Structure 1
Amino acid sequence: MINNQKVLLGAGLAALALTFAPVSIAAPGSWSSEPVRIVVTFPPGGTSDLVARLLAKHLDSDYGQKAVVDNRPGAAGTVAADYVSRQSADGTTLLLANNAPFTISPTRFKSIPYEPIEDFTHVAYIGASAPGLFVQPTLGINTVEEYIAYAKSKELAYGSSGVGSISHILGEAVDAKLGIQSIHVPYKGSSPAIQDFRAGVLDMFYDMVVQNKDMIADKEAIAIAIASPERNPQTPNVPTFREQGYDVVIENWVGLSAPAGMDAKTTETINDTVLAIFSSDEVKERLIELGITHSAMTSAEYTQFVADSISTWAPLIKSAGIVEK
């Protein structure tokens, strides 16, 4: 005999479970019949551009979503960000950007033509890479403590990829944290700085560690420390600042954003699709080669991350003396 009370109780619990069960309103896949434009804040050939092209390739091959890359460099990423903020929030225009337009430019410049939170739907976090400190092998410096001792006995100049760049901000943060003072020599990109380093013009420079792993392997440069929370698997012999007793963590992160007002379903579809692509073994391996450590975030988490980053970076930018007056 069937126990009607148990049946009713079971039916009631099932209904209750359905009522409160999390409902996914989207899944990985295409979201527009139109080609998607991925706007990049840097010119072709850089890490951000390579990530954008990797994403565009897999959107098409894995999900049938056509996508093209549109490079719009200039003004520390604000040119591209301003352009995207003015487009339709229908998912056909996305911004692939690093820290610069959202966490550096708002503090660095007197005014920018957009609000970094209010004017965007921050869709998906992709990952982060970290810069580090490189010195000439002839200096005989291998640790942060040895670097401090040397810097206090001799005036040093470091090269960066430009005023307001991640490498510049790291250089100033390291000086402040270590209690030393060095001269900043800005270049137009990391390549000319590295050329001068190789020519012996510079004693040291700051740049992305993994991108210079061949120099490290060939002993053309000594990587004193990397500014990431943990060592990078591509350069396992390069210690962090933190493990040497100095809490210096400055990462160059990259993510995907859209104009403000994009609907929740499209936002979640793009987020799910992007995370599925960058979580695949093939793509994750390529990110590792580029020095990027991938992490997953929801759109809400990424939005909060951007907001928190603005507060975190503001004092670093001010201490670097690069705030526009």
Structure 2
Amino acid sequence: MKRRTLLAVTAASIASLASPGFAQTDWPERPVRILVSFPPGGSSDLVARLLSEKLSASLGQQFVVENKPGAAGTVAATALQEAAPDGYTFMLSNLTPFNVAPIRFPDTPYDPIADFDHITYIGTVNLALFVSPELEITSLDAMIEAAQAEPEKYEYGSSGVGSWGHVIAEHFQNVSETALFHVPYKGSGPMRLDFRGGVVPAIFDAVPQNLPSVEEGTAIPLAVSATERLSSLPDVPTFRELGYDVVAENWLGVSAPAGVPDEVKAKLDAALAEALSSEEVLAQFDTWGLVRSPKTSAEFSDYVEAQLAQWTPLVTSALE
């Protein structure tokens, strides 16, 4: 009996070693893709590249950033949904494809909650209205006065139709009773290049990537979408402070197609937690103006769902 018991235990052990779940503890065994829903140069891209270096070093395989811009981030999110849930395709997820696009575009081919595993919350960046010094406008009140005097004379750029910059710009026009002319781009990188080149005189864009232009004096921030003034722009008022209820944050995280093995998600989450606590990463986040607020994976999933509910009336009213 003892011999039979030993043989049974040994057979069970061998079977467990051969099972797909156990094999995943050796993950990753080949390069891992991190999809980014915008072109190079934006907040998502910069964060993805910084973290991919850390993950490659700590997990022993290359984490390769793959930019898939287009359709308010839905190109990348759709590719993520369609990827095998084997732990070799993730996404630097963000607000637009998960909380804005599904509302803006009813035919979006995925469910932002059910079709994904939202694994690690990274942080948030805030948006601001930036204008060129050539406009000779230095305050939000002056911008509103000028726009009201000459409706649709003043152009503004966003990172695309249905992007969070577009939604917030339209919401701002509603609450300020102004009319600006929208110039959509395929990502914030190309938009920012045109802004610096004088092609478009104003942009609604994330704060971090515009800080160098602010320091150079080539971009003037008129107001930020945070609930309180940002440490990176302490002299710039919030929209709410100036009497306009415009509050928005663009969250960043790491998500996967639904069904990735739990042990893979746990290993990735632990590696990301280590990277996100490093002095180098935290210092870079401070430079970019990215605000950290750690959450568990469960809290992150709940947060994405709560953001969807929060943005639904905002997107609906802004773009109707």
Shorter-chain TM-score range:
0.7 to 0.9
Cα deviation 1:118-173 (Å, max 9, x = unaligned): 11111011122122112344655433334333333332332323322222111111
DSSP-derived class of the 2:90 partner: strand
Q: Indicate the residue corresponding to 2:203 in structure 1.
A: 205
Q: Structure 1 residue 150 and structure 2 residue 139: aligned?
A: no
Q: CA shift at 1:32, angstroms?
A: 3.0
Query: Are the equivalent residues in 2 in contact too, given 1:210–1:235 (CA < 8 A)?
Result: no
The superposition leaves residues 232-254 of structure 1 with CA deviations (integer Å, 9 ceiling, x where unpaired) of 33333222223333331122221
1:108 aligns to what?
104
- For 1:142, give the aligned amino acid: T
Q: Which moved more, 1:195-204 or 1:72-81?
A: 195-204
3-state SS of paired residue (1:49): helix
C-alpha contact (below 8 Å) 1:267/1:299 kept by paired residues: no
Gapped regions of structure 2 (runs ≥ 5): 1-24
SS in 2 for 1:130: strand
With 275-284 and 202-211 compared, the bigger mean Cα shift is at 202-211
Partner residue in 1 for 2:53: 57
Query: Which stretch shifts more, 273-282 or 80-89?
Result: 80-89
Q: CA distance change for structure 1 residues 50 and 140 in 2, over 3 Å: closer, same or farther?
A: closer
2:225 & 2:298 partners in 1: Cα distance? 26
Alignment of 1:107-126 (within 5 A): 107-126=103-122
Q: CA deviation at 1:208?
A: 2.1
Q: 1:9 matched to which residue of 2?
A: none
2:28 paired residue number: 32
Amino acid at match of 1:215: S
The alignment yields a C-alpha RMSD, in angstroms, of 2.7
**SS state at 1:225 partner:** strand
Q: Distance in 2 between matches of 1:240 and 1:84?
A: 35
Aligned counterpart, 1:20: none
Counterpart of 1:314 in structure 2 is 312
Q: Distance in 2 between matches of 1:81 and 1:197?
A: 28
Change (3 A) 1:198 1:254: closer
Q: 1:201 to 1:74 in 2, by over 3 A?
A: closer
Deviation per residue, 1:24-57 (Å, 9 max, x gap)? xxxxx98433432222222344332222222221
Of 143-152 and 120-129, the range deviating more from structure 2 = 143-152
* C-alpha contact 1:104 1:314 (8 A) present in aligned 2: yes
Q: Is the 8 A contact 2:69 2:186 kept in 1?
A: no
TM, length-normalised to structure 2: 0.80
1:263-278 alignment runs, 5 A limit: 263-278=261-276
Partner AA of 1:68 in structure 2: V
Preserved CA contact (<8 Å) 1:143 1:224? yes
Q: Against the structure 1 CA distance between its residues 42 and 112, is the aligned structure 2 distance closer, same or farther, given a 3 Å change threshold?
A: same
Give the Cα separation in 2 of the matches to 1:217 and 1:226: 16
Specify the alignment match of 1:92 in structure 2: 88
Q: 1:205 corresponds to which letter in structure 2? A: I
Displacement of 1:201 after TM fit? 5.8
Q: Give 1:102 shift.
A: 0.9
- Aligned pairs for 1:217-236 (under 5 A) are 217-236=215-234
Q: CA deviation at 1:200?
A: 5.6
Q: 1:271 to 1:319 in 2, by over 3 A?
A: same
In structure 1, give the amino acid aligned to 2:126.
Answer: A
Amino acid at match of 1:222: I
How much does 1:96 deviate?
1.4
Alignment-mate amino acid for residue 260 of structure 1: A
**Alpha-carbon displacement from aligned partner over 1:176-198 (angstroms, at most 9, x marks no partner):** 22233333233444455556555
> SS of the residue aligned with 1:110?
coil
The change in CA–CA distance for 1:96 and 1:30 in structure 2 (over 3 A counts) is farther
User: Cα distance, 1:287 vs. partner?
Assistant: 2.3
Structure 1 residue runs of 5 or longer lacking an equivalent are 1-28
What's the counterpart of residue 246 of structure 1? 244
Indicate conservation of the 8 Å contact 1:31/1:65, yes or no: no
Q: Would you say the 8 A contact 2:43–2:208 is kept in 1? A: no
What is the TM-score of this pair, normalised by structure 1? 0.79
What is the identity, as a one-letter code, of the residue corresponding to 1:213? L
User: 2: CA distance between counterparts of 1:196 and 1:289?
Assistant: 23
Residue pairs, 1:4-23, within 5 angstroms? none
**Number of residues paired by the alignment?**
294
| SS at structure 2 position matched to 1:180 | coil
Letter in 2 for 1:204: A
Residue identity in the other structure for 1:111: D
Q: Conserved in 2, the CA contact under 8 Å of 1:121 and 1:260?
A: yes
Residues 46 and 195 of structure 1: CA distance in aligned 2, closer, same or farther (over 3 Å): closer
